[in-house]
Structures are given as C-alpha cells and as structure tokens.
Amino acid sequence: MTEQDTNGEHGRGSGRDKLADERDRAADERDALSEAREALADARDAVYAERTEAAETIRSAADERDAQADLRDDAANRRDLAAEIVRDPTSGADDVSAAERSHARMNRLDSKIDRIASEHDRAKLSDPASTSPDVADRAR
C-alpha cells in the first residue's frame, strides 16, 4: 500500500470514529434525559402521595370533629331531658334543672366550635398548598 492509500483509509476511519463518538454521546444524553424524566416522575409521585395522605389526614380530623360534635349534641339533648324530668315544681330541684340546662348550653357551644373547626379543615382541602404534610401535622 502506498502512503496515500494509508492516509485515505485513516481519514475515513477517523470520520467514522467521530460519527460513532457523536452517536455514543447522543445516546448518553438520551439516557441521561430519560433518567432525569424518571426521577422527576418519581418525585412527582412522591409529592402526590404526600398530598393525598395530608388530605386524608385533614378529612379524618374533620370527621372526628363532626363525630365529637354529634356526641356533644346528644349529651346536650340528654341534659335538657334530664332538666325537664327534674323540674318538678313540688321537688324544689330548680337548681339541678338550671345546672343541667347550663351544661346543655355548654355542650351545644362546644359542638358548634367542633363543627366550625370541621368546616375549616374541609375548606383547607380546596387549597392545594394546604395539603402539604406540615399542614396535615397541624390538623392532627
């Protein structure tokens, strides 16, 4: 082989090597982008899971407050009934009746507070930023 043939082959080989290197770099970039997309999707899924858990915690806290309000309403109704039963004009138990009615009013007030807190918790669910895990911790 002559020098010219050797240089010619070497020149073509060099071009092929450059193309192969460029293809390898492009493949590496595609792989890196694919990995970055997967990492982003994983992070997005984790945030979604945290927000879903936070929303469930808020919903659960609101349900517990509603249940507590129902119990307080029941207690107030029982106290009102007890006050009616005790309120016999001949027994002189008006003090007991007044105390029962006072307790019933306090139960109803506590019930109203629980229901307001429950509504407030549920309102948080309409604000996506409020379902972050730290907000859910405060709702507990």
Residues 80/105, Cβ–Cβ less than 8 Å: no
What are the C-alpha distances in Å from 34 to residues 11, 38, 94? 35, 6, 79
Cα distance between residue 11 and residue 83, in whole Å: 107
What are the C-alpha distances in Å from 5 to residues 1, 52, 73? 6, 70, 101
> pLDDT at position 33, please?
95
Q: If DSSP states are collapsed to H, E and C, what string results for 107-136?
A: HHHHHHHHHHHHHHHHHHCCCHHHHCHHHH
Q: Domain count of the chain?
A: 1
Cα distance between residue 101 and residue 93, in whole Å: 13
Per-residue pLDDT tens, the chain, 140 aa: give them: 444 444 444 555 688 889 999 999 999 999 999 999 999 999 999 999 999 999 999 999 999 999 999 999 998 888 888 777 766 666 666 666 778 888 888 888 999 999 999 999 889 888 766 555 555 555 54
- Give the structural domain span for 102: 3-139
> ∠ at Cα 34 (29, 37), nearest 5°?
125
Task: Give the closest residue to 121 by CA, choosing from 55, 74, 68, 70.
Answer: 55
Q: Tokens for 55?
A: 């929303």
> pLDDT at position 101, please?
82
